[in-house]
Structure 1
């Protein structure tokens, strides 16, 4: 938009300069040619058409004093792009026609100076605008990166807190199981022995009530310890522990997207299958890459393990490894598939979300 206003100002100055020389047909024709060439340069900036129009008008200036009077309008684009051939042709035309422009030579130089000044100012503004836009974009990008880094730091902190919580829960569950649970079990056994040797009927009812109370307490403690132990199994660190010995030989990538509300049985199933799959990969695969994916969907959990080693398309499940993985998948009502081709071997497991029976500790 600045260029349009600059050209309008330069055009008015050129028209005023031309009118001082009269309104002959040559002057009007030169004005039309200058406007047309200036429009071409404006419509297609920095294009071959723009350079050709500017250069051709410079040639006209060699033979026409009328065209030279309007040269600042066309030279504006040459000044902006530093197109020196057009400038040299205009200078040569000025030298050739200097005698015919004796009265208007200084006004012409003044308009050329205005054209040069405006072009430099506009070019500088354009550069500053680009720099401003680039700086603003860089600032936004850095801000977004900082936001992402802050989120990642918060996630890492939350995860460390979660791991610390799991360790503490595991410790509490172990303490209850090893100490309180054993003492209650011993008390129940002693109470049972005392009930057997007791001959007093008045005490027998009290012993029975006490035994029921202790059994209820034992059941409650078992349930609490079981719940604590369910949460104490962290799937991601367990998978990382399985992967760590293979990182010297394989390029391993792990993609996790699941909540820690996953049940203990499914966690144990996934850990067992990952261990078995990585063991088979280390023994039989000639590849160098392993990809592990664990995802949670609204209705199911998904586990995918793939390597890029070459293997036959037909898989014989005669070994214990694949059979064990099928048994683990069946224990949680999951569906497991093994796929192999020239691109590698892949294990795909899907487990529906459902309420599984909790095992006794």
Structure 2
């Protein structure tokens, strides 16, 4: 085999290898994009369901109360049937609202699925899930913890040289505990004053939880506890 032939075959093998690597990278990008899209769709569904429940549902509930008050004080027999029909119409609308909100939530990702998607799409720092992801959170608790996890990932990438970020979940009798720990050295000497951490603390306070911060020469850790809501 001549040197020229050997060079050609080597070049051909190298070209094929690069094509395979490129195809693999394209597939990974596609999967990452689809994962992000699924998470965004689920979050948007939850937002829409929450808006419908809080706004439209509240207005229809007020309308039912007002109709009931009108029925109580009404002295005109000719208005009894129209008021009854109006009440039935609004009541049917409430039933449809409840079904729509239920369907939106049913099609959304579970908290465990959303957590898995969230850690899967992060490529700049390895993320590990430990323990058992919470199962019985309220919608507000789920949304809050997902936002906190996003903030923690962003803070870790921006302010440390961490090689691993760990989310540890533990369900206790009266509350849930999530520990967020990385092995990086934060660039901030006083982490409690950071905007990102202040945001996390504010979010957790909205669901009546607490945040404890521990920083050493070897790691940085947040311990978040939130009370279980009555079932």
For normalisation by structure 1, the TM-score amounts to 0.40
Aligned to 1:301, which of 150, 158, 176? 176
Q: How far apart, in 2, do the equivalents of 1:299 and 1:227 lie?
A: 27
Aligned to 2:167, which of 283, 288, 292? 292
Q: What does the per-residue CA deviation read over 1:306-327, in whole Å, with 9 as the maximum and x for residues that have no partner? A: 1111137853444432222112
Q: How far apart, in 2, do the equivalents of 1:344 and 1:332 lie?
A: 27
Instruction: Say whether residues 1:235 and 2:111 are aligned partners.
Output: yes
Quote the offset at 1:269 in angstroms: 1.4
Q: For the aligned residues, what is the CA RMSD?
A: 3.4
Q: How far apart, in 2, do the equivalents of 1:330 and 1:298 lie?
A: 20
Residue of structure 2 equivalent to 1:211: 86
Q: How far apart, in 2, do the equivalents of 1:342 and 1:253 lie?
A: 21
Pick closer, same or farther for the CA change 1:272–1:224 going to 2, 3 Å: same
Instruction: Say whether residues 1:352 and 2:227 are aligned partners.
Output: yes
Q: Of the two structures, which has the highest relative contact order with CA contacts closer than 8 Å and spacing of 6 or more? A: 2
Q: What does the per-residue CA deviation read over 1:268-314, in whole Å, with 9 as the maximum and x for residues that have no partner? A: 11101001110111111112111111222221111111111113785
For residues 5-44 of structure 1, what are the structure 2 equivalents within 5 Å? none
For normalisation by structure 2, the TM-score amounts to 0.59
Higher relative helix content: 1
For residues 187-266 of structure 1, what are the structure 2 equivalents within 5 Å? 203-227=78-102, 229=104, 232-247=108-123, 249-258=124-133, 260-266=135-141
Pick closer, same or farther for the CA change 1:233–1:244 going to 2, 3 Å: closer
How many aligned residue pairs are there?
A: 167
> Do the aligned partners of 2:111 and 2:142 also contact (CA within 8 Å) in 1?
yes
Question: Which protein shows a greater Rg?
Answer: 1
